[in-house]
Structure 1
């Protein structure tokens, strides 16, 4: 592969690292590679996924402006191919979002435009301290985000804040992104923290992790009554699994004085 390199550790965590020096731009070819990888992972029993950059100042700077410009050269071509392109990326991002394992994005460099839209499709976003920029600057380039970024950002940080950022095309430093809720955490090393966080998740019953993820995703925009039913269904499914009994029995064997330490990790 030309743009994505893979590393899998002994616990089944896959780290997919993007690189396209010196620009850090994503391209149609890079999207095709990620699409092929995502489809392959859907059949593999991987335990978790981390998306990151090579650490040379960008994760994904944004989409290639040359390819964007070429794509709007003729209105007829744009009318025919534009919706299909956007639908294709939306399907890819939906696959990533719905993956039956935790997906963490390590924003270890500039992450704007398409790059930030990809980060928004992940479960968790870990920012990194440094002279980096995050956000959706498309309106400054005369266009708008076309891969779900506007809707996902609005759901993440609220309509008013998202609207202000999108209409102004503002990109922000990591600390400000944390304050706005655009990222989940801010770390000295985003990749190391991402690995540690997924490691913490993998100590738990995998069925519980996946069931909780699916229930919370489905319930986020649902009426409260529907969301509560989703919680109840997830709880029952996990309790029917053998792992729940094993973990609870281990907990019950602990002296009362040690149980708080167990829960603290």
Structure 2
């Protein structure tokens, strides 16, 4: 791979984005990432992924503006919401026709496929039973912020870095899912503020509003992300997928529909052999604690962290 570096330690795979000096996202970068994510999705041994950057102090500057400009300049006509929707539908249909995307590219609609490829990367990450952790080692703007939003957890280096959605400053809007994922992570008010202002925010402000989960010393960021990934890799993949589906899909619909999704995912996870073994073992421990006259609160305090770390139960299937 030209733009990615990878390393694997047990169930944790680390991916470094490597397009110096600014680590712009391009169609070529996203193509490599999509291929790699598809491979990971088929590999049951990979349970957690750390996504970071090989460029010092830069996670991703943003998506390549030159590629965006080339894409819209190649279009035969100016698009409005109706014609843009038609172009997206044509691009989807072209996936099922040999040479269809190449034909659209020759007709000046290649940028539509590039946009859909970016969204496919984000979809794979959010629907996967694998935990994705973004280790933001520096600047994360535009498409870089959006790529981090597709991850389940975001750890950011504490330093003079920037994160945000500056697209409006050049007259466009976030195109990699930023308006939708920000709304779901931060709420409509914060999402509107970030997208309308366009001004990047500091890591400390990002932590304050919930855009990132933790700030880490830059020298410890990768180690902390990989340690977190190794811990979460012990979780049941069925439960991980169920939680992600219930939060990402159920959380963006009505409460009634969301609860239906949660119920379905709960029953699915509870029916797995590993969950049945875990619950049976837990009940046996509880019964022995009660028989010994121990206080239940002491049992939970002493025992549960061990369960979470997988020392008492095999969380793999």
TM-score by length of 1: 0.91
Answering whether residue 233 of structure 2 is matched by residue 210 of structure 1, we say no
* Residues 127 and 241, structure 2, Cα contact 8 Å, conserved in 1: no
> Which digits, 9 at most, give the CA deviation of each residue in 1:134-155, with x for residues without a partner?
0111112232211111121122
2:48 is aligned to: 48
Contact 2:21 2:55 in 1 (8 A): no
**How far 1:125 moved relative to its partner?**
1.3
Distance 1:13 1:105 in 2: 13
Q: Counterparts of 1:111 and 1:262 in 2: how far apart (Å)?
A: 39
How far did residue 253 of structure 1 move?
4.2
**In the TM superposition, what is the alpha-carbon distance from 1:9 to its structure 2 partner?**
0.7
Length, aligned pairs only: 264
Aligned partner of 1:241 in structure 2 is 272
Backbone CA RMSD of aligned residues: 2.0
* 1:84-140 alpha-carbon deviations (Å, 9 max, x no partner): 322222122111211121111111111111111111111111112111110111112
What is the aligned partner in structure 2 of residue 27 from structure 1? Answer: 26
CA displacement at 1:78 relative to structure 2? 7.7
Do 2:48 and 2:229's aligned partners in 1 also have CA atoms closer than 8 Å? yes
Q: What is the rounded CA distance, in whole Å, between the counterparts of 1:72 and 1:207 in structure 2?
A: 41
* Corresponding residue number in structure 1 for 2:102: none
1:1-265 equivalent positions in 2, closer than 5 A: 1-10=1-10, 12-45=11-44, 46-54=46-54, 56-76=56-76, 80-188=109-217, 189-254=220-285, 255=289, 256=296, 257-265=298-306
In 2, are the aligned partners of 1:251 and 1:259 still within 8 Å (CA)?
no
Query: How far off is 1:56 after superposition?
Result: 0.4
| 1:220 CA drift (Å) | 0.5
* Unaligned stretches of 5+ residues in structure 1: none
- Greater C-alpha Rg: 2
Change (3 A) 1:231 1:73: closer
Calculate the TM-score normalised by the size of structure 2.
0.77
Distance 1:229 1:72, change over 3 A: closer
CA distance in structure 2 between the aligned counterparts of 1:77 and 1:183, rounded to whole angstroms = 40
Change (3 A) 1:78 1:7: farther
Offset of residue 32 of structure 1: 1.0
Write the distance in 1 (CA, Å) between the matches of 2:158 and 2:136. Answer: 10
Which of 249-258 and 125-134 deviates more? Answer: 249-258
Aligned equivalents of 2:260, 2:204: Cα separation in 1:
37
SS state at 1:214 partner:
helix
